[in-house]
A = this chain, B = another copy of it.
Amino acid sequence: MPDHQAYLNRLRHWRVVAPKGRVIYEEGEESIAFYRVETGCVRLQVNADLGHRQILAFCLPGDVFGLQMDGPRDTSAEAAAVTTLSRFPLSALAADTWEAGPPNGAAIAGLISAATRLSTTLADHLKGLGHGSTEDRLLWFLEWLAERQGVSPFGGVLQPPMSRRDIADFLCMAQETLSRTFARLVERGLIRVRSDRRIQLRPRPRPREEAGEGLQRAA
């Protein structure tokens, strides 16, 4: 759907399939290719010692990641679920290998657009973490996922492709806290968790007077 896809398709590339957990590249490696997610989910992350992880971004179908011209990777990329990718070797960006003639202004715009999109994603992430309680953060995440999966934020059913551990590391909270936060949202009637780990977003929290605790209801 986004414009830049058209230009990417003119570059040399091919499909690869990554099973869940597969490492696409690791922090510190030299960059030799970039990728577009076709199906599944990739997480960009940094691994601190002792299993402490920080997930910077989830890449869903259509997202381009790993696009940097030089230098070592600043994150690792791993498949958070079984994933198919299009792999674009960086060498394909050399002007003489373009299949459809030399790049024009629009093509450049498309590439920059692709490169920029990750910035937007990261910026959104920072905004989401920025302030707010754990509930706010989780709701923000669910909303984001709803938008990306094309389901209504009111009543839609989400199917998160990533584990709860992943979500916790993405939202910068302990997985226990995430679990409790889910429970609280269920209590408040904002979501319903299905047996198969799918999540139904509930329409309106049914305006109750719980908000005004001190209020006396007129009899």
Residues of A near any B CB (own CB < 8 A)? 3, 44, 46, 48, 52, 54, 56, 67-70, 74-75, 93-96, 102-105, 108-109, 111-113, 115-116, 118-120, 122-127, 129-131, 172
Task: Taking A115-B115, A129-B129 as given, write out 15 further A-B residue pairs in contact, using a Cβ cutoff of 8 Å, ordered by the A residue number.
Answer: A44-B123, A52-B131, A56-B123, A56-B126, A56-B127, A69-B109, A69-B116, A108-B108, A112-B115, A118-B119, A122-B122, A122-B126, A125-B126, A129-B172, A131-B172
A126 near B126 (CB under 8 angstroms)?
Answer: yes
With a CB–CB cut-off of 8 A, which chain B residues contact A3? 70
CB < 8 Å: which of B54, B70, B103 contacts A113? B70
Copies of this protein chain in the complex: 2
Cβ of A140 to closest chain B Cβ, rounded Å? 12
Cβ of A65 to closest chain B Cβ, rounded Å? 10
Cβ of A176 to closest chain B Cβ, rounded Å? 15
Q: Would you mind naming 22 contact pairs between A and B with Cβ atoms under 8 Å apart?
A: A3-B70, A44-B123, A46-B130, A48-B131, A54-B130, A56-B127, A67-B116, A68-B119, A69-B109, A69-B113, A75-B123, A93-B108, A93-B109, A94-B105, A95-B105, A95-B108, A103-B108, A111-B112, A112-B115, A115-B119, A122-B123, A131-B172
